[in-house]
Amino acid sequence: MKQLSMHGHKSSVFDEGNGPPLLFVHGFPLDHTMWRDQLAEFAGAYRVIAPDLRGFGSSEVGDQAVTMEQFADDLAAILDALGVTEPVTLIGLSMGGYVAWQFLRNYRERLRALVLCDTRAAADSPEVAENRLKVAETVLADGTEALARAMVPKLFAQQTIRTRPAVVDAVRNVILQANPRGVAAAQRAMAARFDATGILKAIDVPTLMIVGEDDVISPPDEMRQIAEAIPGSRLVVIPDAGHMSPLENPAAFNSALSEFLTTVERR
């Protein structure tokens, strides 16, 4: 991991390989390790960059309120600090997808292509947003144990929970070790995020959508609607996977990503 200091804020980022840059943005409340199977696979032909977002993994949360704009600004600052000037393919999962919509809005010129995984375009309903603020308070008061208990069964397909306990345990441990301040800040940021459904039809970068067939957080039908709204986009449904499709079925996920990247490079 590289340790970067940007305007006094310390950030941690995985950066390996040479070639066209791929920027992997993790989901909530995780860190770059959720991309381990993609980082290992794609570092052979690409430069793979996977930060811990502000407040997660080894990246500091900072003092000010976190917003999606701040996450997107952090990504741009990380690319600057790493000397990456050519446009990147941004691969974001769930909250990483919310950050991707924001990055597209503010840094379109830095994007070569987009891969949206297990994510949503709509903003939260008032009830969901309110619940996030409650979860933020609970996590600050009591830590992340209850959050881990509530989230883990929803993150994975039943089959993964039955047959791949090591994968499930690794994710549970990341949640248990997450910084409560970072988790609370990200919940508040997600509650306040913009509704990206209005920008879908104007997206003019190559875009791929990927979703686990058993994803209950961002179900395939909702992802299909997003794909249908984005010109030229397509949806790949990953079998034997839930919300954590890159970890649950890395072979199918990597094959979909690889095929898409080849078409992007041919353009």
Cβ of residue 155: shortest distance to ligand MLT, in angstroms? 7
| Distance of alpha carbon 210 from alpha carbon 250, whole angstroms | 12
Nearer to ligand MLT, 11 or 245 (CB): 245
Nearer to ligand MLT, 123 or 199 (CB): 123
| Distance of alpha carbon 102 from alpha carbon 88, whole angstroms | 15
- Interface contacts to ligand MLT, rule CB under 6 A: 27-28, 94-95, 190, 217, 243
Nearer to ligand MLT, 47 or 243 (CB): 243
Nearer to ligand MLT, 169 or 204 (CB): 169
**From start to end of the chain, where are the E strands?**
2-6, 9-16, 21-25, 47-51, 88-93, 111-117, 207-212, 234-238
**Structure token pair of residue 125:** 């309903």
Cβ of residue 44: shortest distance to ligand MLT, in angstroms? 27
| Distance of alpha carbon 14 from alpha carbon 82, whole angstroms | 11
Cβ of residue 231: shortest distance to ligand MLT, in angstroms? 25
Helices (H) and strands (E) counted in the chain, each on its own, are 11, 8
Cβ of residue 245: shortest distance to ligand MLT, in angstroms? 11
Cβ of residue 151: shortest distance to ligand MLT, in angstroms? 7
Nearer to ligand MLT, 95 or 136 (CB): 95
Pairing of strands 9-16, 47-51: antiparallel
